[in-house]
Amino acid sequence: MTEKNETACSKARMSLLFAVIVGLCVLLDQWTKRLALQHLPLETARSFLPGLVELIRIENHGAAFGMLQGQMIFFYGITAAICLFVVYVLYRLPEKKRYMPLVINLAFLIGGALGNLCDRVMRGSVVDFFSFIPISFPVFNVADIFVTCAAAVFILLFCFYYKEEEFSFLK
């Protein structure tokens, strides 16, 4: 195998892993939302983890905390911009195993974003159903968990794993 073929194979593996994770995230998110639609009456709470989490299905026409209600074009644009930026990063990404945590994290971010986009396109709203009882927190779904966890992991990766010069490929 030539060096060029090894490079292409490595990029292909990274792309395949990215695509598989994104697909699994979207499938899991959509499956859980289908279960919520089938088994949870609208706005009726059911205990899930007593004192910690309850299940309550709501239809969210905005973002977290009820912001930007009904602004679908804005959400489509933001999702498209994020997806385009991630594709750009993946295209420019050096083919080193060191960047695999970044690829995996980007996949969870995009999987979550696309899961909620599917709802917005198909239903005109996002199905949320997890409610965290101990604090007043917005009702959320599996896609929101993927996006939130990816954001937290990004902070950890950028603060403790990667060095600033390792992102010079984006310049």
Q: What is the pLDDT of residue 68?
A: 77
pTM for this predicted structure: 0.90
Q: Which of the following is catalytic: 110, 117, 128, 141?
A: 128
In this structure, of 9-18, 26-35, 36-45, 91-100, the range with the lowest mean pLDDT score is: 9-18
Higher pLDDT among residues 67 and 22, named by residue: 22
User: Are 110 and 151 in contact, with CB atoms under 8 Å apart?
Assistant: no
Q: What percent of the chain has pLDDT over 70?
A: 93
Q: Is 128 a catalytic residue?
A: yes
- ∠87-17-168 over CA atoms, to 5°? 45
How is the chain split into domains, by residue range? 3-170
Q: What is the pLDDT of residue 9?
A: 54
pLDDT greater than 60 at residue 8: no
List of residues 6+ apart from 36 with CB closer than 8 A: 55, 57, 127, 129, 141
User: Are 90 and 106 in contact, with CB atoms under 8 Å apart?
Assistant: yes
Task: Give the number of other CB atoms < 10 A from CB of residue 11.
Answer: 15
Structure tokens at 6: 């090894």
Q: Which of the following is catalytic: 110, 144, 147, 150?
A: 144
For residue 137, the Cα-to-chain-centroid distance in whole angstroms is 19
Mean pLDDT, range 39-64, rounded to an integer: 92
Cα-trace Rg, the chain: 18
